[in-house]
Amino acid sequence: MSSFNPRVYADLLRVRQAYAFEAGCFLMRFYAYMMNIGTVTMLTLAGYSFFVAGLTSSVIALSTFFIAPRVSKRVDERGQHRVVPVAAAITMAGLAIMLGNVVVHGPEWVLFAAALPMGFVPNPQALARARWTFLIRSGRLGDAAPDLRTMFSYEGVLDDIGFMFSPSISIALASAITPVAGLLAGGVSFAVGTTLLTLSRSTEPVPGWSDATRGAAGADAAAKAVARPKSVLRTSSVVRVLFAIMFFVGAFFSVFDATTVALSEELGNPNIASVVLIVASCVSMVTGFLFGMVHLRIPQYAQLLVTAVIIGCAYGSMFLVDSAMSLFIMSTIAALFYAPLLITANATCELAVPGSRITEAITWMNAGMTCGMAFGPSVSGIIVDTWGAAASFDFGAVLAFAVPVTALLGARILKRGLRTSYEVIGTEKE
Separation CA 293–CA 115 (nearest Å): 41
The 10s digit of each residue's pLDDT in 227-268 is 546 788 888 899 999 999 999 998 898 888 878 878 887 888
Which of 332, 296, 257, 319 is closest to 426 using CA atoms? 296
Confidence (pLDDT) at 229: 60
Other Cβ atoms within 10 Å of 286 Cβ, number? 15
Q: Determine the 3-state secondary structure of 294 from DSSP.
A: strand
Write the CATH number of the domain with boundaries 1-207. Answer: 1.20.1250.20
Distances, alpha carbon 309 to alpha carbons 314, 315, 404, in Å: 9, 10, 5
Alpha-carbon Rg of the chain, whole angstroms? 21
Which backbone phi and psi does 4 adopt, to 5 degrees? -125, 125
Give percent above pLDDT 70 in the chain.
91
Q: Which residues fall within 8 angstroms of residue 179, CB to CB, at 6 or more apart?
A: 41, 42, 43, 45, 46, 102
Q: Where in the chain is the domain with CATH 1.20.1250.20?
A: 1-207, 230-430
pLDDT tens by residue, 73-132:
999 889 999 999 999 999 999 999 999 999 999 999 999 999 999 999 999 999 999 998
Report the sign of the C-alpha dihedral through residues 349, 351, 352, 358, in that order: positive
The model carries a pTM of: 0.82
Structural fold of domain 230-430: Growth Hormone; Chain: A; (1.20.1250)
- HSE (side-chain half, CA atoms, 13 Å) at 401: 10
Helix residue spans in 14-147 (DSSP H): 19-45, 50-78, 80-103, 108-115, 124-137
